[in-house]
């Protein structure tokens, strides 16, 4: 973890937990800082150098695992998720926000059905041509991959 990471950020604990889970699987995970000024910022250029010449240059994904960038998205736990429609909207919103930062996204489990989640991701990739390489749902039991592009 970089020393300039804001440990008081609202999502720090969830990001830390994701990195811990990757590390338990033997991966090298590092939490990266959120920087407001990324234009010609030497710190940004050093930390996020591998994003240069990608659509994510200027963005600050939450963490890096074995050289791959991940964005974590959560939701307000006080949010009413009593209906399927509300859970589906919450999932869609988290995914929409996440793919703006990285093509690999980890979403907090909002109780949406896995079939719906996979269809939602598939629709975005196949019909909307969104750049999505991996979607993981962080559950109480760990990380559950629901979509991953197969390596060539």
Domain assignments of the chain as residue spans, ordered by start: 12-148
The pTM assigned to this predicted structure is: 0.92
Which residues, in sequence order, are CB contacts of 43 under 8 Å at separation 6+?
4, 33, 35
pLDDT digits (tens, 9 = 90+) for 43-93: 999 999 999 999 999 999 999 999 999 999 999 988 899 999 999 999 999
Cβ–Cβ under 8 Å, residues 151 and 125: no
Nearest to 75 by CA among 113, 115, 106: 106
> 103: how many CB neighbours lie within 10 A of its CB?
21
The CATH class that applies to domain 12-148 reads alpha beta
Cβ–Cβ under 8 Å, residues 136 and 144: yes
**Dihedral of the CA atoms 127, 114, 67, 126 (nearest 10)?**
-10
What is the token pair recorded at 132? 């999505």
- Residue 101: per-residue pLDDT: 96
- Residue 38: per-residue pLDDT: 87
- Residue 152: per-residue pLDDT: 59
Confidence band, pLDDT 50/70/90 cuts, at residue 33:
very high
Cβ–Cβ under 8 Å, residues 67 and 73: no
């Amino acid at each position: 973890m970089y020393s300039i990471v804001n440990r008081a950020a609202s999502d720090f604990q969830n990001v830390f937990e994701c990195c811990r889970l990757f590390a338990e699987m033997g991966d090298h995970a590092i939490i990266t800082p959120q920087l407001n000024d990324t234009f010609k910022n030497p710190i940004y250029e050093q930390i996020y150098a591998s994003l240069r010449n990608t659509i994510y240059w200027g963005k600050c994904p939450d963490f890096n695992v074995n050289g791959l960038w991940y964005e974590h998205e959560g939701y307000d736990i006080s949010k009413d998720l009593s209906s399927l429609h509300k859970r589906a909207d919450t999932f869609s919103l988290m995914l929409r926000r996440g793919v703006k930062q990285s093509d690999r996204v980890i979403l907090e489990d909002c109780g949406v059905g896995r079939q719906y989640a996979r269809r939602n991701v598939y629709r975005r990739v196949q019909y909307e041509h969104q750049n999505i390489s991996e979607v993981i749902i962080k559950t109480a039991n760990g990380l559950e991959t629901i979509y991953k592009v197969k390596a060539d």
